[in-house]
Structure 1
Amino acid sequence: MTQDAIRIEGLTKTYRASRKQPEKQALKGVDLTVPRGSVFGLLGPNGAGKSTLINILAGLVTKTSGRVTIWGFDQDRNPRQSRAAIGVMPQELNLDPFFTPRGALDVQAGLYGVPKAQRRSDEILAMVGLSDKAEAYARSLSGGMRRRLLLGKALVHHPHVLVLDEPTAGVDIELRQMLWANVRKLNRDGMTIILTTHYLEEAQEMCDEIAIIDQGEVVARDSMGALLGRLDARSMVIQAAEKITALPQADGISANLREDGALVLGYRSGRTSADQVLSAVRDAGITIRDVRTEEADLEDVFLSLTKSHADNPDSREA
């Protein structure tokens, strides 16, 4: 049996031209695999093609060409099985205002053909913290509560794969913590999680592997550690004993003085050592009171890769 939760091969999607919009190729031959049991991050700037890809996985958008396999089921040959294997928590708060949370879960379970004896609405309501709102109309729920209900709806049919599309957009810290606690438990129980988010610190904390999409193409796909290791960029932040009047000057070192008086020195560890940076500081007559170094984070990698792809569109990874 395949060990891939999701396998995507040569996936393309072209939106036809209309009176107001020219033809747009949203996905350009995407190849991607998501391992079973992983927490997989799908990142990219606005308009990169993430939403189109998710909607194709969910069966909401028809692909132009390519192959999609979900939990071993080919989306074309086994559409019902592939749809049953995946649950999607959408970004949009699209709920019927006159349904109660319990009613919404029961209807969703019915749409997936879950027998009444196997439905677990009360269990799901408890998990997402909505037991006390089970009979309240959705229109009376706060935005955070509606988002919890969307998570519950995505789980009613026992999916193997859960897609979270910007799940913490506009939510408070308490809800965010509750959501991630639920996601971690679901993943420990064997569920594969696919996460899209603009909060890169969340992706760095939660994800085992990351794929970055830009302009409809996968420009990077690797483990979190390997991605972070791609950039050897470092920063050295120095607090001087006295006011700095001259910046260090040396090849391979950029120097900037912050408003708070701290000196920030940028360098690449593969070309310039920390000792060379400190020597340049001393040569500038600066007495160091405190110093710390900072490595690149996921945001640095993301910005570097998307900028590189914009400058050189033919540089995508195999």
Structure 2
Amino acid sequence: MGKSSTKTRADRPGDSDDGPNPALNGVVRLPKKLYEKELFRLQGQLVEMQEWVRTSGARLVVIFEGRDAAGKGGAIKRVSEFLNPRICRIVALPAPTERQRTQWYYQRYIEHLPAAGEIVLLDRSWYNRAGVERVMGFCTEEEYTRFLHQTPVYERLLVEDGVLLRKYWFSVSDAEQERRFQARLEDPMRRWKLSPMDLESVTKWEEYSRAKDEMFFHTDTASAPWAVVEAEDKRRARVNMMAHLLSSVPYVHVDPPKLTLPRRPDPRGYRRPPRDMFTQVPDHAATLLKH
């Protein structure tokens, strides 16, 4: 095999070198050791919050929005890393089907909202209409205007029904976005993250900026406010967002149920069938030890 061009995690933008970086507009990147220590602490608190959500019957929805390559996906991975996937679900919906396009706009999102004791992380959300659909002309002016009118009402109804709704906007500069796009183009492990639509956002930076400003004007409400995450440094963005989420949810410590490992019973004559009766996965690891 030829030499791999795949970069290690430490070599990837946002995870390497510390200190000032001109590409980050002078932002000092959070040192890696400090970042990892605080990240692990916050993830431990998220596990505690999850247990409170489960036992209290709370319903938590967290929306992740922002520019392409702003770090939403990485933040979602860190938030959910140690959480129970039966309690915490990540929802990333594809483009609507022909049938869904004829439904009430919010309808396909409603079916993914949490029941009691559940957390839903929305990787993009109904705010697609205010962003890509608006800028790229995928919705009519009437549909867009209706969205700006209905969304505050829709979100207020969710909150009034007891849903804990948190909305995060990941903000990144045009220069940093372009740097991350270029890094993805050069990394075969992450090239799939780029689409023609993503690349077109480079040429429509101002259109997306105006769309975001108008969206905030109509949907940054008292009952469902936006929280802006400065994301020039992905490490800072992740810990800042997680700390804010934890501070905004009224969770309390819940003692986990006491579990005791039972004593293994004495053998009762069971014998395992010979291994050659089954198809075994080849020992690929053994080939690595020969080199």
On whether the aligned pair clears a TM of 0.5, the verdict is: no
| Structure with greater Cα Rg | 1
TM-score by length of 2: 0.30
TM-score by length of 1: 0.28
Greater relative contact order (CA < 8 Å, ≥ 6 in sequence): 2
